[in-house]
Amino acid sequence: MQYVNIFDSHAHYDDAAFDEDREQLLAALPGAGVRLVVNCGADLASSRKAAALAREYPYFYAAAGIHPEEAHDLPEDWEDELKALLSQPREVAVGEIGLDYHFDENPPREAQRDVFQKQIILANSLGLPVIIHDRDAHGDTMELLQKHRPRGVVHCFSGSVEMAKEVLRLGMYIGLGGAVTFKNARVPVEVAKMVPPDRLLLETDCPYMAPVPFRGKRNDSSLIAYTAARIAEIRGEDAQELIDCAFRNASRLFLGNENATGD
């Protein structure tokens, strides 16, 4: 499956799952049709690693943010740290940030909401888009998005068609990844069908969420080919055209220019 022009709008190549062969793997991405990648931070340490990857690889950009599962034991000056990181070149978004109510042992909801809200306000003040993680927290997520109206994307979209409509009404993008290809995927398929072409982003969330037929294995940006092929099939479109369209969308959102080259 060979496509070109892939823009992976959400990756975690700083993850330990890539420690053994990161250099090799990242060097091979352009040859596999991957043109640009946004590597997301999940806490201050991984946001620093994301920044380092963006310095090293000309086809990488970075996002910096505190993931809701990391919204605890933060240093007093975390907001200043984040702001300093985000002022560096090739920083294109605040993310990933949001709410995750899935596990009881996650940080208290109050703390999650506080850290999330502060980061949306920071993104708005810096003129940057946000990359939103929402897991089993649709109501509270939508409330804060409606209140602050950031630009951005709801990544690995897991909400209903109704919620997708609300996200679109706010002018935001919808990120779709490997979950669309899963056998039991019903709602993600419906969402993939209804997202307007100019609001759809492709993503991996690698090392997680590998598409079928690699489900459960380590994911990487080249496998977006399988996700795109499935979404194109659902929508009755051509996969390369869908990839091209998602490239323009991600470039518009993160780089402010539809024809961005990554230079």
In the complex with Ni ion, the residue whose CB is nearer, 150 or 177, is: 177
How many Å apart are CA 256 and CA 263, to the nearest integer? 13
Q: Which is nearer to Ni ion, 50 or 239 (CB)?
A: 50
Strand order across the 6-11 sheet? 6-11, 34-39, 60-64, 91-100, 130-135, 152-154, 173-176, 200-202
* CA distance readout (Å), 137 to 40, 141, 144: 20, 6, 11
Strand ranges for 45-107 from DSSP E: 60-64, 91-100
Would you say 33 or 175 has its CB closer to Ni ion? 175
Near Ni ion in 112-151, by CB under 5 A: none
**CB-based burial of residue 217 (10 Å sphere; 0-12 exposed, 13-18 middle, 19+ buried)?**
exposed
Report, in Å, the least distance between residue 183 CB and Ni ion. Answer: 22
Instruction: Determine the interface stretch with Ni ion among 106-114, 122-130, 200-208, 251-259 (rule: CB under 5 A).
Output: 200-208
Judged by beta carbon, residue 65 or residue 150, the one nearer Ni ion is: 65
The window from 112-120, 143-151, 198-206, 237-245 that contacts Ni ion (CB under 5 A) reads 198-206
How near is the Cβ of 34 to Ni ion at its closest, in Å?
17
Task: Choose among 43, 39, 250: nearest CA to 129.
Answer: 250
Position 228: which residue type? A
Find out whether the peptide bond into 207 is cis, omega within 30 degrees of 0: yes
For 20, residues 6+ apart whose C-beta sits below 8 A from its C-beta are: none
Q: Note whether 91 binds Ni ion by CB under 5 A.
A: no
The smaller minimum CB distance to Ni ion, of residues 41 and 150, is found at 41
Stretch that binds Ni ion, among 57-65, 70-78, 190-198, 201-209 (CB under 5 A): 201-209
**Applying CB under 5 A, which part among 98-106, 195-203, 204-212, 231-239 lies near Ni ion?**
204-212
156: left (phi over 0), alpha (psi -120 to 50) or beta: left
Query: Shortest Cβ distance from residue 40 to Ni ion (Å)?
Result: 5
* Cβ distance to Ni ion smaller for residue 13 or 57: 13
Both tokens of residue 86?
């985000």
Is position 205 an interface residue for Ni ion (rule: CB under 5 A)? yes
Least distance (Å) between residue 209 CB and Ni ion: 8
In the bound state with Ni ion, the residue whose beta carbon lies nearer, of 33 and 98, is 98
- The three-class DSSP label of residue 82 is helix
Count of positions on this chain that bind Ni ion (CB under 5 A): 1
Q: Which of residues 31-90 bind Ni ion (CB under 5 A)?
A: none
State in angstroms the smallest separation of the CB of 238 from Ni ion. Answer: 28
Q: How far is the CB of 12 from Ni ion (least distance, A)?
A: 6
For the CB of residue 261, give the shortest distance to Ni ion in the complex, in Å.
Answer: 25
Taking CA 75 as the corner, what is the angle to CA 10 and CA 80, rounded to the nearest 5 degrees? 70
Q: List residues binding Ni ion (CB under 5 A).
A: 205
